Amino acid sequence: MAPNERLAALSAAGVSIWLDDLSRERLTSGNLQELITDHSVVGVTTNPTIFASAVANGESYDEQVRALAARGASVDDAVREITVADVQQACDVFSGTWEATGGVDGRVSLEVSPRLAHDTDATLAEAVDLWKAVDRPNLLVKIPATEEGLAAITNALAEGVSVNVTLIFSVERYRDVMGAYLDGLERAAANGQSLGSIASVASFFVSRVDTEIDKRLEKIGTDDALALRGKAGIANSRLAYAAFQEVFQGGRWEQLVAQGARPQRPLWASTGVKNPEYADTMYITELVVADTVNTMPEKTLVAFADHGEVEGDQVIGRAADAQEVFDALERVGVDLTDVFVVLEDEGVEKFEQSWTELLETVQGQLDATR
């Protein structure tokens, strides 16, 4: 079967299509390979929510859980072994993509425990441990872009760990993340690491921004406020891309490029539409631009394959329009600083809840086999 034409066109526009999901069933059934072949998927992202759902709803983990229970593994060790095994297998499935793209794509992400989001040293230790445990060059270790996470990102990169920086909501924090990346590369070079083997993406969340801001706009309730619904997430992302273009040029960056460095691409995350009144592919179509990743839940991927449109670059040259949206949000009374604080806090909290759910699910399965 030929690749889906709509998704192939998206890929040709410079957007790397990653799937925001992973399960052992996808791996063992060949479904993931089918998505690579037929839907132009070139990477995978995971998070605690995804693993909690996979383990709770699938039977593919039963044999491993029985073996873990038989040897008396703790629930933390069991979760580690289960998730590492899935990511290792996914990395192997994507090894051909990784080689064909020179290490740009074919990437699979695995997140450090969200319980460590505000502990720099513990985050770094787990990031290095996961890197060694998975032992695949196309792994990305996910580290949240909390203030404490920034130093962990730099230190992990300095040790040669490739990083997916997650939970980025504001352009201001995104600039901090890019700074942490450049610092990490410079330290890696000083440590004798090969910069060509280090990769990173910066996961900039989209739909959650609209969800939070739309709620505030509806509370304000004026015509001017209501007219801004559904515009903030895309505007925020376009401003982020303008910052990306600004940072990855000039003398400092050119020195790193000369040593083999590659840019930290923006990754559009949370691209499944939360509001059913919005077009289900809006966070794909409106953010088409080269040198980006769009990680999609399968529902959004299938929707775009069915009726998504690629209408050329929708980002470059639109920063001024995006800033006008943000200016208008402030004029109607939206406290953007507070929005981004709330989103980061809620993001960490939601992942912590999913992590707890994952631990409880695995504990229940261990108990059932003992």
Residues classed as catalytic? 142
d(CA 57, CA 26): 12
Beta strand pairing status for 139-144 and 107-111?
parallel
- 226, 193 Cβ separation under 8 angstroms: no
Cα(33)–Cα(283) distance, rounded to whole angstroms? 25
Angle at 297 between CA 295 and CA 298, to 5 degrees: 120
Residues in Cβ contact with 152 at an 8 Å cutoff, skipping those fewer than 6 apart: 120, 121, 123, 124, 127, 143
Rounded to an integer, what distance in angstroms lies between the CA atom of residue 146 and that of residue 120?
9
> Residue 21 phi/psi, 5° resolution?
-175, 150
For residue 156, the tally of other CB atoms under 10 A from its CB is 29
